[in-house]
Structure 1
Amino acid sequence: MPTYLFAAGSRPIEVEQLVKTIASWDGSKLPSYGKGQAEVTIFKITIPVGGEVPWHIHPTINAGFIIVGRLTVFTDAGEKHELIAGDTIVEVVGKAHRGINSGVVPVELIVFYAGVEGKPLTIEVD
């Protein structure tokens, strides 16, 4: 990925692009944004060792960055994606999926949601 440098006095500022995509991790194209007031939400999520995020759907676009740990995500169609510290993920939208801490330390990740005010970011499913 490209790295950009900016001059900040005598010290350069480095900007590294981590991801730029029109598709989620399973290859499906991201949907168009919904109508309404745009709303950005950022979460820091910690999943304990052995922790499992329940099955859920995101009706809005979101992406994450794994700070620490190992996370395995699955779709209900059986697709699987392994992530470790330093990896990025563009989540599937409108598809049931879940995550499991598959490592030996708590997973810490930052997730960014590009949603619409008043609309849910996550919907838990059975």
Structure 2
Amino acid sequence: MDIKNLFFVLAISIGLTSGAYAQGEHEHGKAQVKVLAKSTKSWDGSTLPKYGQGQPEVQVLKITIPAGAKLPMHKHPVINAGYLMKGELEVTTEQGEKKTIKAGDALIEVTNKWHYGRNIGNEPAEIIVVYASTEGSPITVLK
């Protein structure tokens, strides 16, 4: 899926995930919508924090992690969620909690919790991550 189509799917998903469209797969006109993730909690069960005050800002990043690579310990002070398009990743918190995701999986990431990601597959992992923050806020802090 190219980035233009991803933006279309995200826009349709956001527009249709309230009320009757909150769960499962749906058709709306010619578009099909499948909710990939919807939660008030991150993958480790922690409740997501409230949004900060100020001008909202959304960033959409495509991150490619080489096979066998391990990212440094870091945390995200803002809410974010990802969709793994290709590969296999393992996310580990400083406390030892682990989550493995494979291509086609969505993940609501931990917020304000030290963790790292590692590509445990044999090919580069490609993940699209959406960060919801306020303008000027850092999205990642290295330990």
Q: TM-score range by the shorter chain?
A: over 0.9
Q: Quick one: distance in 2 between partners of 1:49 and 1:2?
A: 32
1:119 aligns with 2:137: yes
* TM-score scaled by length of structure 2: 0.83
Q: Quick one: distance in 1 between partners of 2:98 and 2:127?
A: 18
Structure (1/2) with the larger strand percentage: 1
Q: CA deviation at 1:6?
A: 1.6
**Letter matched to residue 115 of structure 2:** H
Q: Percent identity?
A: 47
Report runs of 4+ in structure 1 exceeding 3 Å deviation. none
**Letter matched to residue 18 of structure 1:** L
1:29 aligns with 2:47: yes
**Letter matched to residue 62 of structure 1:** N
Q: CA deviation at 1:88?
A: 0.6
Q: Which runs of 5+ in 1 are unaligned?
A: none
State the Cα RMSD in Å.
0.7
**Letter matched to residue 124 of structure 1:** L
Aligned length: 121
**Letter matched to residue 34 of structure 2:** E
Alignment correspondent of 1:61:
79
Q: CA deviation at 1:53?
A: 1.1
Q: Quick one: distance in 1 between partners of 2:63 and 2:124?
A: 10
Q: Quick one: distance in 2 between partners of 1:114 and 1:33?
A: 8
Alignment correspondent of 2:26:
4
Greater relative contact order, per chain length (Cα 8 Å cut-off, separation 6+): 1
Alignment correspondent of 1:46:
64
